[in-house]
Structure 1
Amino acid sequence: MSVTQKTATGDGEASVVAKLSTLDRFLAVWILLAMAAGLGLGRLVPGLNDVLAKVEIGGISLPIALGLLIMMYPVLAKVRYDRLDTVTGDRKLMLSSLVVNWLIGPAVMFALAWLFLPDHAEYRTGLIIVGLARCIAMVIIWNDLACGDREAAAVLVALNSVFQVLAFGLLGWFYLDLLPGRLGLGEGESLDISPWKIAANVLVFLGIPLVAGFLTRHLGERELGRERYENGFLPKIGPGALYGLLFTIVVLFALQGKTITSRPLDVARIALPLLAYFAIMWFGTFLLGKAIGLPYDRTATLAFTAAGNNFELAIAVAIATFGVTSGQALAGVVGPLIEVPVLVALVYVSLALRRRFAGSGNASPGNA
């Protein structure tokens, strides 16, 4: 059984990792190779990052948008959209997600940024921007690899996208301008980002693949029937999710390879609070999900949606406000450099915890 083609078999006590396909089993290797390839291309091919950076519309990178679309489409085509009401009716899940993502997450990143980088305002600001940009894209695939609840992931990323449009600018003002001044930490900063630009980011990185996945599921079931659609069509497009992920990683790191490799000590300083952030958010939220009685699949979904961040939005905001060569932009770039391997590792941690999870054999209604 491939994780990218998982079905609800109810064998939570069996070793999931032992049943992975070759592609899935060596996922961490492929991702590290993709990161290395991207960094190498960005460093060794003259002008490549400039060429890739110019292929954009409205500040949105078309190569990255293409990669994320390819990555997210197969997973969103697997979602049972007729079961979304079982997720929206789960008040513990919905309320926990809102609190963790929009109250706790930004506050944790703010505290860590000041704790680790009290003497470097640019990097500190960049990290806070990363903390404000809640994940709406790549978390879809981390959740699927960890056998999380697909329907819950679709609902929570949609919820995050709405709050991102409404709250990003307000939280940016609070954590970068108002709060530092009130705490006597120095002069505040403001972000040059409009709600419309955030809405465009949400539309491209979530709206398009979500609509494509919904239409594929609706039309596919109508033409093929549910059994043929799920057992015949979905396994054929499933590997595309990982191919899209690897393509996105190569492009992303090729775009920023020169910046990252030319400032290794600065990258290390930025990496420390990021590592602490991902660990605190994922493990803390996983424990929260277990404590409030969520089943494994929804607990995993809650944890990954809390730990992930919208790196594309964070980088775009940092560059638009402070410039492409700024420390804020570098902090945004280092975000996915650390997030990708850490969340891949947490996929394996999650799968290991699944076997010990109380009631793990009882999937939530969304995955039944």
Structure 2
Amino acid sequence: MLLIRAITLDDIDPLIEMARQVGSGMTTLKPDRAMLGERVNTAVASFAQAIPPEERDYMFVMEDTANHRLAGVCAIKAAVGLTEPFYNYRIGTLVHSSRELGVFTRMDTLYLSNDLTGSSELCSLFLMPEYRTGPNGKWLSKSRFLFIAQFQQLFTEKIIAEMRGYQAEDGTSPFYEGLGRHFFKMDFDHVDGLTAIGKKSFIAELMPRQPLYVAYLPEDAQAVIGQVHRSTLPARKLLEQEGMHYEGYVDIFDAGPVLQGRVSELRAVRDSVLTVAEEGVPEGECDTTLVSNTRLDDFRMILTQACNGGAKVALSVRELQLLHCQAGDPVRTLSLNVRKNSHV
């Protein structure tokens, strides 16, 4: 059975092995022991409430309880850009017109921006290939929303998710080749690696502060602005189901879209139910359901068939054990799938 839980210090080594399979494009999950070790330490301190709320980085792992192997990872950063600059391009519009000549032209532009500084961020989503079956990927992604629903006070109202941008079959980024390379004079993977280990000062030093006209870029670079990597498309759709949307901000390197949402408008915040666990077998109409305990210091979650919306939710002895719960303890539930009458 699979379990999603708060990360621990014992997870560092398997997390590094997992990070080796991620590939380029995910700067928050590089196989660097120093970086990941520091991040896991921060996560452990976050769940223990041992550091200020704005510095917290909540990391979760999906564990296969049959062999205690890590199947996946995901995370939520409480706030971005407060200790180091957080950059995006904001897509804007400039109008050039001449009444005398009868010319009116709208030009898309890219503005280097820090507008999203301070937002909470969904990040570091990765599922091992052998576990990419059934509802596992959907559950791993949506688990973060149930955590947010339980602990809304720990996050800012605005929440964002940077999506991996489009890459060609050979792994190159048309947007980076058409723009970034002219300023950085290095390969995409090298730039990606520098940002992963926190070396971001070169962005401010080398990137132009003036608006950039999109029309000046090669056509293949223009075409991928706001487009996701082919393997990221399902993740984007899942986030949009939960209340996230694209508002014209993109990554400065690969032009992947930045999705945004308001915590108070997320499906999990609106539709999840705080109920009470009881030992037993569910009766009546059941649904595939995320069920979590309500403990920040030992957060745990399972996916099971349960009857939602009642005063109690029936769970097996094994499920209660995985949640570190007893009958009578509070739990929070959320249907895995968006109901047809749900308005997001």
Q: Which has the higher contact order (CA 8 A, sep 6+)?
A: 1
Q: Please, what TM-score do these two structures have when normalized by structure 1?
A: 0.23
**Which structure has the larger Rg over C-alpha atoms?**
2
More strand by share: 2
Q: TM-score, normalised by structure 2?
A: 0.24
